Structure 1
Amino acid sequence: MTHTEEPGQPGAHRPVLVVDFGAQYAQLIARRVREANVYSEIVPHTAPVEQILAKEPAAVILSGGPSSVYADGAPAVDPALFDAGVPVLGICYGFQAMADALGGAVAQTGTREYGGTHVDVDDSGVLLTGSPTEQSVWMSHGDAVHEAPEGFTVLARSAGSPVAAFEDPQRRLFGMQWHPEVKHSPLGQHALENFLYRGAGLEPTWTAGNVVAEQVERIRAQVGDARVICGLSGGVDSAVAAALVQRAVGDQLTCVFVDHGLLRAGEAEQVEDDFVAATGVQLKVVDARAQFLGALAGVTDPETKRKIIGREFIRTFEAAAREVVAEAGAHEEEVRFLVQGTLYPDVVESGGGEGAANIKSHHNVGGLPDDLQFELVEPLRTLFKDEVRAVGLELGLPDAIVWRQPFPGPGLGIRIIGEVTAERLDLLRAADAIARAELTAAGLDRQIWQCPVVLLGDVRSVGVQGDGRTYGHPVVLRPVSSDDAMTADWSRVPYDVLATISTRITNEVPEVNRVVLDVTSKPPGTIEWE
């Protein structure tokens, strides 16, 4: 793990850049590099080689992709990259693009390889040293490298890949046809680490402890002696961001907790009690429930909701900042900085970074107003969720905060499909509290990434309760498992636990007469419904 205020700006650790050729696994490659305690970032294949080299990468990894290198318009690799002295690893399409750019031969073999594939390995080189000479790997390709470029040694072969891996250690250039980043390649991480440690000569020094030290230094340099406020949401991200900033600037920080009425049951108490007890931070509580509900009245469009919530957050913080200064008796001072717990997945999903699609605006990324009065401090902007938890533990935050299920900044406002009203919020809060209590009682908190409970506010269904016909709301359980929220699978919650949750909700929340289960992975569905 490491830090930067913007992804792509090298900090103390030069990045390993993952060039994304449209692979479904590009983010996973970056994650696997980070698991090797080496910092990584993702850049689009459209970035010119001069721009890539300007980032001073410690190494470059070329991802897979859906194209054929010989097809019209297929993305290519500028051969200048291979003459720059930077270690390069090509994976799948990136492997083929490397071979093509360096004078090798790529063509259809007539034998497609998808899924588990047997390869014969020469372990005498760098990339596959320590690997068994026969192993199973995960492939997904219809083209193959037939001839390695001049100067390269062939390291592996399969039935459909005459050249399944190659290397030129002197030029520090390596490649493989299979996907080492997926767990279906059991020795894939070993090969990646061979590239990072042996091929590129990198040290595994990107750790939670280093992140804290580097971020503290960066925050002090950015903030100086200015006053800072941080919006606490009750979630892991804002708590860790606040703890980092407090470590850096101490009582220059005041945390502002906005009770916007979109919180789950017990969250306000957790922030006011648990976090303050753990950190000793100065906390200002703002009751803005009426303000937010008024702004959301009649609004049903998800993007509009997010932008309204983002706008109202900032306006609330601006008012709170003025009060913080007034209460301190320092009327001549201003609060210049706002701390946010923005994460790398937030940036990616909000269209951050060149070439990224805008999946949805996060209130702290795409939902900020244009006339923002603060400079942002975002110490977690390049981190994934599991890395944030590691930093939180390093900072000494208690498990109750660090291991809390992720909760979106817009809160329950984006878990109600349709208009947000006080009545619907109360209904959803009650159902959510039951689901969380039963998952905790079943010991599933560490196994499930999170379990949003979604109220289909504009949908009614017929039911029978107490021998009478009802026309109530359905709620959706969305239990998912994930490492970093970039991808997710639905969690296989035991049937007896689901039955208990359903029975309790329909018995204890009279307005709900139906509980359904969302079994969609991400992709294609996002974790939150809105």
Structure 2
Amino acid sequence: MNFYILGGSILNDNNELVLVIDFGGQYNQLIARRVRECGVYCEIVPYDYSLAKIKAKNPKGIILTGGPASVYAKDTPQAVDGIFDINVPILGICYGHQIIANALGGTVTHAETGEYGKTSVTLDPSAVIFDTIDKENTCWMSHRDYVSKVPVDFTIIGHTTTGPVTAMSNDKRRIYGVQFHPEVEHTPFGKKMLKNFLFKICEVKGNWSMEAFAESKINEIKKSVGNKKVLCALSGGVDSSVAAVITHKAVGKQLTCIFVDHGLLRKDEGDQVEKVFKDKFDMNFIRINAQERFLNKLHGVSDPEKKRKIIGEEFIRVFEEEANKLGQIDFLVQGTIYPDVVESGTKTSATIKSHHNVGGLPEDMQFSLIEPLRELFKDEVRAVGEKLGIPHDLVWRQPFPGPGLAIRVLGEITEEKLVVTREADAIFREEIAKAGLSEKIWQYFACLPNIKSVGVMGDSRTYCHTIALRAVTSSDAMTSEWARIPYEVLDKISRRIVNEVPGVNRIVYDITSKPPATIEWE
């Protein structure tokens, strides 16, 4: 594939960096998120990142993440040789905790019964990493292997009824391990523990900010692009809008924003996007109406992964065609963010679902990629957007996937199904806004399961579509809880959809959290 991704190390003026070394756990991006919440910049690198590269980055601290493997098994991920001898504070979480024990002479054992979910834990408040944290507490566990014997010169500073070494420390070497997950919200003292590690052990100042990120990224793009031309894949969603504005601030009129209306947008969204970017921002803006083209490509396709890849490739083809009209175009801007990357699969984690801007790009693509938000989570993207002066209502616009309604209409896509889903979704969003819940719920939308059911309307039998409503609360999109929307609001939404959207006779509400489900249905 002929492309280069612009997006990498962004350090603040004081060069404070914490490295998160990835061993493949699905919560690993949350660790980075929690560190950044403390105002400390961090980067995630793979477990086989060389010792020379680690030293070259001069980290103030290192965090070894969780992972699905067993440290004592053959050919499982291990820490690189020498990492425990470079005099940098190290915190191991879950699998990382076991790696420390195994590498330094302790013992890791397979338990007959694992610890999963909320677990009572006893901590040693005299340990610096648990300073000001209650002795008796609750944490979130997810393991079957456990440390049964600590290495020499390590002290046990935490245990559960079934786990003898829930936490351990070596203050002299500044190496710490915890079996639980401090990064998840289900460990209530987790953020305080991470702050203790960062500020009392690593002794960082914590002055990285979204302003610093934006300034560094603008300078990076400006330097890399030079006097060349750039296209932006503008969808009008939060991610692509912030990516467009940050790139525009770097290169000005060298950027052309192309908005592809693929016929899979929400109600009136195409017109709204065109109005905002033509009236608010002084950008080169081109709208391409390609509804028929995309729907023809998707005809008869039911598999969600095929849908994503078809849409991703067709997007690129549209841009290539437009580039030929505009002359030489060297760079393509995309609003890829961290959850897109981790859910599309990395070296150490499984693919959950391909994102059209990560896994759906054609092999012969001729652009170099600029992905200015690739390191950020959704709330960080919104914070950057606010700092850049993007209107509040656009920054807080409901997240919308690149494939659009193609993955909210389950199964084969038809124009009739799109109309039903579009109208139901508009009612849902309108009533949520009227109820004052639009900024309290992380994401909410209507989707169309590939089922029909029997109903009675006007004393007659019906056999119509079912609409599923999905609403979740989250701080990072990596985990989420289903939103507790008041019954009276749900009742009004249900009655309106059934009465106003032809072809619908049943409404269901999704009360599944993430995990085990994802936020989107496909």
Letter in 2 for 1:117: S
Q: Aligned residue for 2:311?
A: 309
CA distances 1:255-286 after superposition (whole Å, capped 9, x unpaired): 11112211111212221222333322221111
Q: Aligned residue for 1:98?
A: 100
Q: Aligned residue for 2:209?
A: 207
Q: 1:381 aligns to what SS in structure 2?
A: coil
Q: Does 1:485 align with 2:477?
A: yes
Q: Which moved more, 1:285-294 or 1:230-239?
A: 285-294
Q: 1:525 to 1:93 in 2, by over 3 A?
A: same
Q: Distance in 2 between matches of 1:178 and 1:300?
A: 40
Query: Matches of residues 111-190 of structure 1 in structure 2 within 5 Å?
Result: 115-123=118-126, 125-133=127-135, 135-139=137-141, 145=147, 147-156=149-158, 159-190=161-192
CA RMSD in angstroms comes to: 2.8
Q: Aligned residue for 2:245?
A: 243
Letter in 2 for 1:519: I
CA distances 1:73-123 after superposition (whole Å, capped 9, x unpaired): 665445521012332112233223312322235557999766332424242
| Cα shift at 1:404 | 0.8
Q: Distance in 2 between matches of 1:247 and 1:367?
A: 28
Q: Does 1:426 align with 2:419?
A: yes
Q: Distance in 1 between matches of 2:113 and 2:510?
A: 38
Q: Aligned residue for 2:457?
A: 465
Q: Is the 8 A contact 2:6 2:372 kept in 1?
A: no
Letter in 1 for 2:119: G
- The answer to which structure, 1 or 2, has the higher relative contact order (CA under 8 A, 6+ apart) is 2
Q: 1:176 to 1:422 in 2, by over 3 A?
A: closer
CA distances 1:179-227 after superposition (whole Å, capped 9, x unpaired): 3223343322112111112212223122110111010011101111112
Q: Which moved more, 1:37-46 or 1:186-195?
A: 37-46
Q: Distance in 1 between matches of 2:212 and 2:301?
A: 44
Q: Distance in 2 between matches of 1:143 and 1:294?
A: 51
Q: 1:418 to 1:139 in 2, by over 3 A?
A: closer
Q: Aligned residue for 1:414?
A: 407
Q: 1:70 to 1:372 in 2, by over 3 A?
A: closer
Q: 1:282 to 1:137 in 2, by over 3 A?
A: same
Letter in 2 for 1:487: T
Q: Distance in 1 between matches of 2:206 and 2:97?
A: 25
Q: Distance in 2 between matches of 1:187 and 1:119?
A: 12
Q: Which moved more, 1:112-121 or 1:393-402?
A: 112-121
Q: Distance in 2 between matches of 1:103 and 1:25?
A: 27
Letter in 2 for 1:471: Y
Q: 1:210 aligns to what SS in structure 2?
A: helix
Q: Is the 8 A contact 2:229 2:255 kept in 1?
A: yes
Q: Aligned residue for 2:88?
A: 86
Q: Aligned residue for 2:446?
A: 453
Q: Distance in 1 between matches of 2:342 and 2:121?
A: 35
| Cα shift at 1:18 | 2.9
Q: Aligned residue for 2:255?
A: 253
Letter in 2 for 1:463: G
Q: Is the 8 A contact 2:149 2:165 kept in 1?
A: yes
Q: 1:276 to 1:197 in 2, by over 3 A?
A: farther
Q: 1:429 to 1:134 in 2, by over 3 A?
A: closer
CA distances 1:342-368 after superposition (whole Å, capped 9, x unpaired): 1111111222x3233222221111111
Query: Matches of residues 327-406 of structure 1 in structure 2 within 5 Å?
Result: 333-351=327-345, 353-406=346-399
| Cα shift at 1:22 | 4.6
| Cα shift at 1:515 | 1.4
Q: Which moved more, 1:256-265 or 1:310-319?
A: 310-319
Q: Is the 8 A contact 2:262 2:291 kept in 1?
A: yes
Q: Does 1:522 align with 2:521?
A: no
Q: 1:369 aligns to what SS in structure 2?
A: coil
| Cα shift at 1:429 | 1.2
Q: Is the 8 A contact 2:27 2:478 kept in 1?
A: no
CA distances 1:134-161 after superposition (whole Å, capped 9, x unpaired): 5444455566545543344544455555
Q: Which moved more, 1:501-510 or 1:304-313?
A: 304-313
Q: Aligned residue for 1:498?
A: 490
Q: Aligned residue for 1:328?
A: none
Q: 1:61 aligns to what SS in structure 2?
A: strand
Q: Distance in 1 between matches of 2:276 and 2:186?
A: 41
Q: 1:137 to 1:293 in 2, by over 3 A?
A: closer
Q: Distance in 2 between matches of 1:313 and 1:67?
A: 38
Q: 1:315 to 1:433 in 2, by over 3 A?
A: same
Q: 1:51 to 1:412 in 2, by over 3 A?
A: same
Q: 1:173 to 1:415 in 2, by over 3 A?
A: same
Q: 1:138 to 1:508 in 2, by over 3 A?
A: closer
TM-score by length of 1: 0.89
- Give identity over the alignment, percent: 52
Q: Is the 8 A contact 2:48 2:79 kept in 1?
A: no
Gaps of 5+ in 2: none
CA distances 1:260-313 after superposition (whole Å, capped 9, x unpaired): 211111212221222333322221111112222222222222222212211221
Q: 1:224 to 1:108 in 2, by over 3 A?
A: closer
Q: Aligned residue for 1:10?
A: 9
TM-score by length of 2: 0.90
Q: 1:216 to 1:306 in 2, by over 3 A?
A: same
Q: 2:185 aligns to what SS in structure 1?
A: coil
| Cα shift at 1:173 | 1.6
Q: Distance in 1 between matches of 2:70 and 2:369?
A: 42
Q: 2:169 aligns to what SS in structure 1?
A: strand
Q: 2:311 aligns to what SS in structure 1?
A: helix
Gaps of 5+ in 1: 326-332
Q: Is the 8 A contact 1:121 1:157 kept in 2?
A: no
Query: Matches of residues 244-323 of structure 1 in structure 2 within 5 Å?
Result: 244-323=246-325
Q: Which moved more, 1:309-318 or 1:97-106?
A: 97-106
Letter in 2 for 1:415: R
Q: Is the 8 A contact 1:144 1:160 kept in 2?
A: no
| Cα shift at 1:239 | 0.4
Q: Which moved more, 1:187-196 or 1:171-180?
A: 171-180
Aligned residues: 515
CA distances 1:309-344 after superposition (whole Å, capped 9, x unpaired): 112212222232344x3xxxxxxx512111110111
Q: 1:122 to 1:408 in 2, by over 3 A?
A: closer
| Cα shift at 1:385 | 0.6
Q: Distance in 2 between matches of 1:443 and 1:387?
A: 23
Letter in 2 for 1:395: L
